[in-house]
Amino acid sequence: MNREKLRKRSDRLRSSLPASEVWFWDHLKRSGLYDPNDLSNYVFGRFIYDYANFKIGLFLEVDGSIHNLKSVQENDKKKETLILKSGFKFLRISAFCSKDLEQALKHIRALKHPRIIIRRK
From first to last of the 121 residues of the chain, give the pLDDT tens digit.
687 888 888 888 878 888 999 999 999 999 999 999 999 999 999 999 999 999 999 999 998 878 888 888 999 999 999 999 999 999 999 999 999 999 999 999 999 988 755 566 6
State how far the Cα of 61 lies from the Cα of 41, in Å rounded to an integer: 10
pLDDT score of 116: 58
Other beta carbons within 10 angstroms of residue 107's beta carbon come to 16
Other beta carbons within 10 angstroms of residue 60's beta carbon come to 21
E-strand spans in the chain? 39-44, 47-53, 58-63, 89-94
pLDDT score of 41: 92
State how far the Cα of 28 lies from the Cα of 77, in Å rounded to an integer: 25
pTM score, whole prediction: 0.84
